[in-house]
Amino acid sequence: MTAPNLVLPAPAKLNLFLHIVGQRDDGYHNLETLFQFLDYGDSLSFWYTQTGTISLEPNLPGVAQEDNLIVKAATALLPFRSSLTAGVHIELNKYLPMGGGLGGGSSDAATVLLALNELWQLKLSHQQLADIGLALGADVPIFVHGYAALARGVGEQLVPMTPAEAWYLVVHPGVAISTAEIFGHPNLPRNTKPLASNHVVWSDCHNDCEQLVESLYPQVAQARLWLLEYAPSRMTGTGACLFAAFASKATAERALAKLPSKFSGFVAQGKNISPAHQALNAQLAN
């Protein structure tokens, strides 16, 4: 096969905190959360085709092609093509765990939207792509816009932020957690007082999902207790991954070297501009 037209990362995200400030009549929750990207994630390769169709390799275990967010994102852009023969073949290198709270599926979808906007010359704005992405998942818009942000609403109301680009140790406890399960649980706190302003110290905040998840999945509690030996730790999103900030890459890697074998993990740096946007701009400049 010829070289791909584009190769782009689909970076992980962290929710540096996650407050649930209410539940809406439609069942969705109003959130306040601080998103930051990581320089670690999946990778997607794109080949422009003239088949008029979308193909993806490999299949994800347990996920039907039509349910895959990559295919859904590409399909959502089909009506915007100027040529019905424009198609794409996509290959996914999957590194982020499913059900880990790192936004892997949403990030994959956003990278597809950004890539096909260029490959198919759709000329859609980031806001238009984000609106399309919101129908795929609440976290897709943050990846489309590509900047660290304080998010409100269901995650679509974004205020740009610049938290310190720390080095993080991210630990996966070995369980997959359904976001729908956690947000639908009757014991989830839903009444945290909204922030008084956008000036927030994220380490002074918390994750409203953490206590519930740890009660349902003891492995998450065990992993966080281990990580607490090295630095203040917190769960990202609805779990299952935990993270802790370190002063340097070396100190994070020293902790990672002591990670119990029943867990997995990686070290990555926080990024306030999405690596997907940086890579896309670099490839378009060449």
CA distance 2 to 125: 30
Q: Are 188 and 210 in contact (CB under 8 A)?
A: no
Helix (H) or strand (E) holding 80: none
Q: How far is CA 16 from CA 55, 121, 169, in A?
A: 35, 35, 13
Take residue 33 and report the two structure tokens written for it. Answer: 């959360």
Residue 24 burial (C-beta neighbours within 10 Å; 0-12, 13-18, 19+): exposed
Q: Are 18 and 33 in contact (CB under 8 A)?
A: yes
Catalytic pick among 42, 108, 139, 208? 139
CA distance 48 to 224: 44
Helix (H) or strand (E) holding 142: helix 140-145
139 catalytic? Reply is yes
Catalytic pick among 13, 42, 72, 208? 13
CA distance 18 to 32: 6
Catalytic site positions: 13, 139
